[in-house]
Structure 1
Amino acid sequence: MRKNLSVLVIMLVVIGILLSSFSISFAQKAQPRRYYYSTPSEYTKLTGKKITKYNEAPALAELVKQGKLPPVEKRLPDEPLVVDPPEEIGKYGGEYRSAGFGPQSGQVDSETVRVQHILQINPDLKTLTPNIVKTWGISKDFREVTLILRRGMKWSDGTPFTADDFMFWYEDIASNNDLTPVKNTAWTPGGKMMVMRKINPYTIKITFAAPYPAVDITLAKSYIYGRFFAPKHYLKQYHIKYNSKANDIAKKEGFADWIQCFNYHYAYGQNQMDTNLPDITPWVLTKIDEAGNKYYERNPYYWKVDTAGNQLPYIDRQVVVIVKDAQVRIMKIISQELHAAGENPLPVKEYTLYKENEKKGDYTVYLFNNTRGSDWCVAFNLTHKDPILRKIFNDIRFRQAMSLAIDRKQINDVLYFGKAVIRQAVPPPETSFYEDWMGKYYIEYNPDKANALLDEMGLKWDKDK
């Protein structure tokens, strides 16, 4: 069977110059293809289809049979999130192997498929839908957010996932100056720490000191902002507020104090080293071997199903294989030892090598658009301390001339094998306020026109400089 090795060479590389502010207009939103439904009832309402029963992986079914796990219906929340697969319903089994450059770094290829945010950014890059939460609401003045959690949702060890886990993170981690001496700006709009309140076991309200229009984007990237929750039932044993002997535990484990010890056990994602830490991700860390390789097993309490009622994920486990350097990763990709590679992303200079070995290695090289809109840009300091340079840089004709002086086609042909998209350094076309002229603004290579603009400014050529 052909292995679908996704070598993610992200190639929307743009050479551009930041020119000037532009007007914003919002285009009519087309109805996007739905991949996520917050609940089975929403899925039924919007599609007319109904999920009649839940299914589980054979390995979990065997544990249920042995009495080691509750039935799948009792492991799922009352209303699990429903995923409509992009192509087809998957099959259970298999292993996902990717590279890591260290025990706590360079593991994005595995981490990104585990990451779970409070909200979900859909593939159209415009639409937000619930993910961890069942639903959410934002006040008209953008100062308050209400999060409604999923009743019956559980951590990977079967403990209920509730508002207490949000409050523990807020009161005892994010607001604790020993554990978090510097507050993330995502939590402090208006210069003050946000206020989080528990309304009931499944409702959280967050209030901000100032209007926070971007709060939904923050919630859709919550994983990188501290997640907004933590497993209180597990971590409180290491917290001095809940355990007066936390420092004794820390010293026994080889840490200087409870703060170091707590941070070790709290670390999640590729930083995680505690193999007992409960999580809500599709796979949870269960083992780290002597070489530093990490093993993640399926989460039996994962809270998503597909449209056929199959509890996700399909794949049984993840393995992060620690490699010495990029060259070792190349060899493991070509020799089929890894199932996916695309971190940071893969250097474009390696593209030819992967393509030449594609058939031999029985993998596929994919080119994906870069969602940043541009990989490179040239920007001038519009507030330069030199008044002459500041005047020149603020004249749009100068920036237009510099843009016209760049031979983007040559750069594309030489560095990117002609596969990049030549465009200005502006947001990607998927952005709601994007207009076609933005990407084409002064991107042609025209030295004569560039010099004419500089002449128009009154600039003189100094052949000695």
Structure 2
Amino acid sequence: MFRFIALCLALMLASPAPAQQRPALQESSFWQMEINQGHLPRIADRLPETPLIVDLPAKGRSFGRQGGTLRTMVSRAKDVRQMVIYGYARLVGYDTNYELYPDILRDIEIEEDRKFTMHLRPGHRWSDGAPFTSEDFRYWWEYVVNNEKITPTGPPEFMYVDGVLGSVTFPDAHTVVFEWPTPNANFLPLLAQAAPPFIYRPAHYLSQFHGDLADPDALKLETRKARVKSWAALHNRRDSMYKFDNPQQPTLQPWINASGTTSRQVFVRNPYYHRIDAQGVQLPYIDIVEMSIVGGGLVAAKANAGEADLQARGLDFPDISILKKGEADGGNYRTLLWGNGAASQIAIYPNLNFNDPVWRDVMRDVRFRRALSMGIDRHMINRALYFGLALEGGMTALSSSPLFNRDDLSMWAAMDIDAANELLDEMGLTERTSDGLRRLPDGRPMEFIVETAGERQEVENALAIVTDTWRDLGIKLVMRPLDRDILRNRVYAGVSMSAVWFGWDNGLPSASTSPMYLAPTNQEFFAWPKWGQYYQSGGEVGEAPDMPEAKRLLELSDQWNHTFNRDERRAIWAQMLDIHAEQQFAIGILSEAPQPVVVNKRLRNVPETGIWAFEPGAHFGVHRIDEFYFEDALQQVTQ
């Protein structure tokens, strides 16, 4: 009972203004024409009965005014999903202290971490004006995840706890209950993710594409027009809550996709958005977001030329000098330096599920991975690429995390070519080619292929330095740049020997953070993609973990799920971080290099310091981009 009261109280305290009286409302000039023509209700009829009221001065921010167009850039058409990440409208979300609070939900009651009673906001509406109710949760549960044609694999993995499927009930139009027999401590943090499981769908929209609900003749016609083979394929194509590439699908995010398939995507303010400021102004403050799709190598140059009002994606530490120079030369922007929330700026992942059995056996020997780590001159990379500002060491929790352990950071991370060579000799890798390369047990020269996404020059520069020092180990590093999606698919299929990527998205865990991402539970961790597939699919695909340390990580993750004692959870985290440091599953090089953030000089409420992290925080999302505003915003009216 104490835990129930404490957690509910924590959620209420974290809420920006749960019990404030609704202030006098101010109409948006952006929608004035639609209101005058009777196409859109007035603001009082567009908001929920209890909107989320944000007291900006209490957060150290200023009240803004509506208007303006914010320009930003992405490098791929599919990255329009960044608007869902940045917008960060979630059932529950993190505040800037990484505490959870109800957002889309009016409130939530939690009993023993196993029963979650969600209370919706009466009067809340989708972006097209349709009511947002428990029926939208019912549609997801009964017609999406429990329909074998749409979801052949059945309900998602997070709905199972200890192998038992949870229940979802709908007591009334504004109440939804998720319940399990045993605690599901991961449930709420899952809902607050940058890429959450959307456990609701716009039923009124998607039902017209569902074989059990739609008019059969109309559905056949739509299926033919879409050139897909089945109504289920049509439904899945129209259902893009996260991809955000279907302008017809209603949303609860602060901005609506108003574009087709073009190189410049336009998003306009959601007239039914559930948040207002304490002066009665509906958020978001900014009317329009323009997202340009440009080549990845052009982001810094275009930001330098003043073509972005808010930009961090596509910018890296090496871009700081050119950005600062442009700022000093009269550019209409500031270059802020935020912290980076990834556990490592650059990490090399030997693929323990590599299809080549000889290489796989070599990489699974911990001495090989430790030798690779000790063969890296992190100090040189730091000085050459980051002016010595990054933190040198392996991949572990960042120094600002309460779980940081300097011993884990430094374990096997000091450059020691002699000790690394001794480890390789101990493995029996003593035969060499005429030019000094070690030979594999089958006689092949040790050419270690590291595949990259080819998107960050700093990665290629770092690997060039690693190439020189690994040569002293008798190992030839071969760098292979690939498209990001091709790289991922090769890793997942086991045809990639190794890859280089960031470290864990969440480098700032606390004892209450689920440690599942440290265990082989997901294919996204490039060191064990097939183990992750095995876990995610319930054993239907992939490979069962067969290394003791990997099995131990799974055991510890399960132990964390079944205890609520903070000290025990902290001890479990410490063990798991120690295992990663000892085993070097991912060979971190350095971390905490500053992240440049370009901000228009007229843009307000952007924090001077922050953490640029996908998880937790959704990049700009945790800083609430809907509260950013232009000090001299141009008031716009829709046409």
Instruction: With the length of structure 1 as denominator, give the TM-score of the two structures.
Output: 0.75
Q: Please state how far the C-alpha of 1:135 moved relative to its aligned partner.
A: 1.6
Paired position in structure 2 for 1:188: 160
Q: Secondary structure at the match of 1:337?
A: coil
Provide the rounded CA distance (Å) in 1 between the counterparts of 2:221 and 2:135.
Answer: 26
Alignment of 1:254-333 (within 5 A): 254-273=227-246, 275-288=247-260, 291-323=262-294, 325-333=295-303
Deviations 1:58-103 (A, max 9, x none): 2235644554433322211121113344521122111122224444
- Tell me if structure 2 keeps the 8 A contact 1:380–1:393: no
Q: State the partner residue of 1:335.
A: 305
Alpha-carbon distance in structure 2 between the residues aligned to 1:249 and 1:380? 46
Equivalence for 1:238: 209
Q: Which residue of 2 aligns with 1:418?
A: 388
| 2:615 corresponds to | none
- 2:341 counterpart of 1:371: yes
Q: Unaligned stretches of 5+ in structure 1? A: 1-31, 45-49
Counterpart-to-counterpart distance in 2, 1:392 and 1:327? 38
- TM-score, normalising length from structure 2? 0.56
2:323 corresponds to which residue? 354
1: distance between equivalents of 2:153 and 2:73?
32
Q: Which amino acid aligns with 2:285?
A: Y
Matches of 2:15 and 2:396 in 1, distance apart? 32
CA contact (8 A) 1:37 1:83 kept: no
* Kept in 2: contact 1:424–1:438 (CA 8 A): no
Letter in 1 for 2:319: E
Q: Using a 3 Å threshold, how does the CA distance of structure 1 residues 110 and 438 change in structure 2: closer, same or farther?
A: farther
| 2:53 is aligned with 1:82 | yes
**Code of the aligned partner of 1:332:** K
Q: Extract unaligned runs of 5+ from structure 2.
A: 1-9, 433-437, 439-639
CA displacement at 1:218 relative to structure 2:
0.9
**Residue 104 of structure 2 corresponds to which residue in structure 1?**
132
| Residue 405 of structure 1: how far off its partner (Å) | 5.9
- Residue 250 of structure 1 corresponds to 223
| TM-align CA RMSD | 3.8
User: 2:266, 2:289 within 8 Å by CA — same for their partners in 1?
Assistant: yes
Cα drift, residue 335 of structure 1? 2.6
SS of the equivalent of 1:309 reads coil
Structure 1 CA distance for aligned equivalents of residues 13 and 385 of structure 2: 36
Report if the CA contact (8 A) 1:166-1:229 is conserved. yes
| Residues 157 and 182 of structure 1: CA distance in aligned 2, closer, same or farther (over 3 Å) | same
Distance 1:219 1:296 in 2: 24
| AA at the equivalent of 1:353 | I
Q: What is the deviation of 1:391?
A: 10
The structure-2 alpha-carbon separation of the partners of 1:106 and 1:241, relative to structure 1 and needing over 3 Å to count, comes to same
Cα offset, 1:261, TM superposition:
2.0
Instruction: Give the superposition deviation at 1:442.
Output: 4.4
Which aligned pairs between 1:67-146 and structure 2 lie closer than 5 A? 67-85=38-56, 86-103=60-77, 105-107=78-80, 109-125=82-98, 127-140=99-112, 142-146=113-117
Greater length-normalized contact order (CA 8 Å, ≥ 6 residues apart)? 1
For the residues of structure 1 that align with 2:248 and 2:148, how far apart are their CA atoms? 26
Shift of 1:267: 1.5
Higher mean C-alpha deviation, range 55-64 or range 93-102: 55-64
Q: CA deviation at 1:172?
A: 0.8
CA deviations 1:126-155 (Å, max 9, x no partner) are x11111111223332x33322111111111
Q: How does 1:168-187 map to 2 (within 5 A)?
A: 168-183=139-154, 184-187=156-159
| Structure 2 letter corresponding to 1:408 | R
Offset, 1:198 = 0.8
TM-aligned CA deviation for residue 365 of structure 1? 2.5
AA partner of residue 233 (structure 1): H
- What's the offset of the Cα at 1:215? 1.2
Letter in 1 for 2:118: L
Alignment CA distance shift 1:210-1:376 (3 Å): farther
Mapping 1:383-462, distance limit 5 Å: 393=366, 406-431=376-401, 433-435=402-404, 437=406, 441-442=410-411, 445=414, 447=416, 451=419
Per the alignment, do residues 87 and 356 of structure 1 end up closer, same or farther by CA in structure 2, a change over 3 Å counting? same
Q: In the alignment, does 2:178 pair up with 1:206?
A: yes
Counterpart of 1:311, as a letter, is: Q
Q: CA deviation at 1:236?
A: 0.9
- CA shift for structure 1 position 371: 1.7
Q: Distance in 1 between matches of 2:304 and 2:61?
A: 27
CA distance in 2, matches of 1:320, 1:199: 41
Distance in 1, Cα, partners of 2:134 & 2:116: 14
CA distance 1:143–1:37, shift in 2 (3 Å)? closer
CA distance 1:460–1:165, change in 2 (3 Å): closer
Q: CA deviation at 1:166?
A: 0.7
What one-letter code is carried by the residue in structure 1 that aligns with 2:390? A
Change (3 A) 1:440 1:63: same
State whether residues 100 and 321 of structure 1, in contact with CA within 8 Å, keep that contact through their aligned partners in structure 2. yes
In structure 1, distance between residues paired with 2:273 and 2:15? 16
Shift of 1:286: 2.3
State the shift of 1:272 in Å. Answer: 1.7
Q: Which has the higher helix share?
A: 2
Range moving further from structure 2, 145-154 or 60-69:
60-69
Per-residue displacement from partner, 1:213-248 (whole Å, max 9, x unpaired)? 211111212x63441111111111111111132223
What is the distance in 1 between the residues matched to 2:31 and 2:353?
61
- Report the AA paired with residue 115 of structure 2: E
The match for 1:18 is: none
Structure 1 residues 107 and 421: CA distance shift in structure 2, 3 A:
farther
1:120 Cα deviation after fit? 0.6
**2:244–2:257 Cα contact (<8 Å) kept:** no
CA–CA distance in 1 between the matches of 2:264 and 2:228? 23
C-alpha change, 1:106 and 1:381, in structure 2 (3 Å) is: closer
User: Quick check: 1:143–1:209 contact (8 Å CA) kept in 2?
Assistant: yes
**Given that residues 374 and 415 in structure 2 are in contact (C-alpha distance below 8 angstroms), is that contact kept between their aligned partners in structure 1?**
yes
Paired positions, count: 413
SS of alignment partner, residue 107 of structure 1: helix
On the 8 A contact 2:81/2:242 being kept in 1, the answer is no
Q: 1:272 to 1:412 in 2, by over 3 A?
A: same
SS in 1 for 2:290: strand
Contact residue 264 and residue 293 of structure 2 kept, 8 A? yes
Select 2:138's aligned residue among 145, 161, 167. Answer: 167
CA distances 1:92-126 after superposition (whole Å, capped 9, x unpaired):
111122224444x133554422232221112223x
